[in-house]
Amino acid sequence: MDETSVIRDVVSGVLVVDKPVGMTSHQVVQIIRRGTGIRRAGHTGTLDPRASGVLVVLIGPAVRLSEWVSASDKRYMATIRLGASTDTYDAEGRTTATAPWENVTEEEFERILKQFEGEIEQVPPPYSAVRVKGKRAYNLAREGKPVELKPRKIKVYSLELLEWAPPEVVVDVHCSSGTYVRSLANDIGKALGCGAHLVGLRRTQSGRFTLREAVPLRRLEEAFHKGEWYRYLLPAVEALPEDWPLIELDPDEVELVRHGHRIKPHEGMELTDGQMVRAVTEQGDLVAVMIYLGEEGELQPKKVFFAS
């Protein structure tokens, strides 16, 4: 059995892809499934076809980490055009209103940006994947039916103006998962009084992964053909938040945890009740996601990963 076959049999980890414009996130996952020969693969946060950038794809048993990876904060470079609003809040939609933008100054734009920082309520775009009475909002919108979406709480950690070249401006957006940058562009346009819509979007960070770790899809496809794709595979434990404490288990503890038993934290670990912990072998392989039970002073396995 060659090295590729061995790795394919035991593979579990993360591929961080730089998704090109014009392709759906699902299409990228399909390419990865075909290229690796592994059916168990899934992304951790959709990027629109018109958007590019960091797409985190979990492979093999690592897909079970999705609930924590999907909830990670995101960062985008958003290009916004002032002077027109559209029904989709981006360049694909029908223009619904126009207004002069020439009187908007750089100082005023930056002042308005600050109003959208912090915890805010945001209404998703009518053309979004949010479900309304069992149907996707974009399907209802395309049918010409009224779409009433409830506002949801999001966090915008920072909005920084990167480039001022009106009518187009480029903004760095650092936000919580579930934020619609299209809605932000539309709402900023409303606040300015001239309207605005999103014309370009690049995800620069998803959780702990940035464009620095991302491999362009074309290069990954070349690696599939050469049988070298596994060099881009990151350990599953790296998908989890960096601020979760890490515990390295000895072989006896590994056996206990893999059979669902609790263990004591190691000396020197300072944990709070309900804190999540990453448990790895002495070789660095992910054994389990664990939760600290304060009253009992023990770590309880929450999700266990078995070696092949």
Residue numbers annotated as active site: 48
Cβ burial 165-188 (10 Å sphere, 16+ → b, else e): ebeebbbebbbebbbbbbbbbbbb
Closest CA to 28 of 212, 188, 214: 214
CB 279 within 8 A of CB 290: yes
- Phi, psi angle pair for 285, to nearest 5°: -80, 140
Residue 278: CB partners within 8 Å, gap ≥ 6? 237, 240, 244, 245, 246, 247, 286, 289, 290
CB 230 within 8 A of CB 35: no
Question: For residues 155 and 134, what is the distance between their CA atoms, to the nearest angstrom?
Answer: 26
Closest CA to 244 of 213, 204, 288: 288
DSSP 38-103: -S-EEESS---TT-EEEEEEEEGGGGGGHHHHTTS-EEEEEEEEESEEETTSBTTS-EEEE---TT
Closest CA to 169 of 83, 245, 240: 83
Residue at 222: amino acid letter: E
Q: What is the distance of C-alpha 256 from the center of its chain?
A: 33
Within 10 angstroms of residue 40's Cβ, the number of other Cβ atoms is 15
Q: What is the distance of C-alpha 126 from the center of its chain?
A: 21
